[in-house]
Amino acid sequence: MGIIVHHLNNSRSQRILWLLEELGVDYAIRHYQRDAVTNLAPPELKAVHPLGKSPLLEIDGRVIEESGAIVQVLCERYGAWLPEPGTDDALRHLELMHFAEGSAMTPILLNLYVGRLGDAGAPLQPRIDEQLAAHFGYLESILRPSGHFVGNDWTGADVMLSFPAEIAAMQAASAFPKLAAFVAAVHARPAWQRAREKGGVYFGS
Ligand SMILES: N[C@@H](CCC(=O)N[C@@H](CS)C(=O)NCC(=O)O)C(=O)O
């Protein structure tokens, strides 16, 4: 049975296309477009999964939600982009796979939503800014001399952290030069460029 990615334009789903391209796996994309006014996913995604969010991966006759789980399943299935099991790197990898969505996305999303409140959100903004700087600063500090987040090669953690790193590089590249270099290295990969072609509009480009 084939693999299908339910892909929302301009979303975290882009990194799943990137990983599939890196793995050289055959897959199909079902495209969904954000609403031009609300920026939300279209209702058709709720027919695939009750939350109606993307990415969603159809594989082996079931639908998997949550990017981190999708990345882990794909890396394990194809035996690639994972550190050696039982090593310190494997533990670090697990930690960072969860950090990407569990921690790094929280201030990013708060910034997005509270920013829409205008003056009403002003009292919250200093704490959000401080947490954004803390999380981006942490990522900047743990990026290894190899240019990867774990070990000396590409892993699923690099895929997961590419999204918060892209936000950091967009918002303040000069404050986070290592993250900006990491993002440039990701974007230079032929697999990322193929995924970008197939995925459609991403970050306005
Ligand atoms: N933690 C989830 C987040 C999924 C998520 O919120 N996806 C966004 C795109 S970045 C989405 O579908 N937003 C559209 C909506 O909420 O209507 C994951 O990483 O898979």
The pLDDT score that the predictor gives to residue 205 is: 59
Atom of ligand 1 nearest to the CA of 163: 10
Select from 3.30.365.10, 3.90.226.10, 3.10.105.10, 1.20.1050.10 the CATH code of 88-189.
1.20.1050.10
Expressed in angstroms and rounded, the spacing between residue 99 Cα and the centre of ligand 1 is 16
Expressed in angstroms and rounded, the spacing between residue 13 Cα and the centre of ligand 1 is 8
The pLDDT score that the predictor gives to residue 201 is: 84
Tokens standing for residue 54? 């993307």
Digit-by-digit pLDDT tens for the chain (205 residues) are 699 999 999 999 999 999 999 999 999 999 999 999 999 999 999 999 999 999 999 999 999 999 999 999 999 999 999 999 999 999 999 999 999 999 999 999 999 999 999 999 999 999 999 999 999 999 999 999 999 999 999 999 999 999 999 999 999 999 999 999 999 999 999 999 999 999 998 885 5
The pLDDT score that the predictor gives to residue 1 is: 65
Distance CA 52, CA 153 (A): 34
- The residue whose C-alpha atom lies closest to atom 13 belonging to ligand 1 is 53
The pLDDT score that the predictor gives to residue 203 is: 81
- The residue whose C-alpha atom lies closest to atom 6 belonging to ligand 1 is 53
Expressed in angstroms and rounded, the spacing between residue 54 Cα and the centre of ligand 1 is 5
Distance CA 19, CA 158 (A): 10
For the entire predicted model, the pTM comes to: 0.97
Expressed in angstroms and rounded, the spacing between residue 196 Cα and the centre of ligand 1 is 18
Spans of all domains in the chain: 3-81+191-199, 88-189
Q: Which residues contact 153 (CB under 8 A, 6 or more apart)?
A: 146
Task: Return the axis-axis angle of helices 14-23 and 190-199, rounded to nearest 10°.
Answer: 130
Same fold flag, 3-81+191-199 and 88-189:
no
Residue 103 beta carbon below 6 angstroms from any ligand 1 atom: no
Q: Name the class of domain 3-81+191-199.
A: alpha beta
The pLDDT score that the predictor gives to residue 136 is: 98
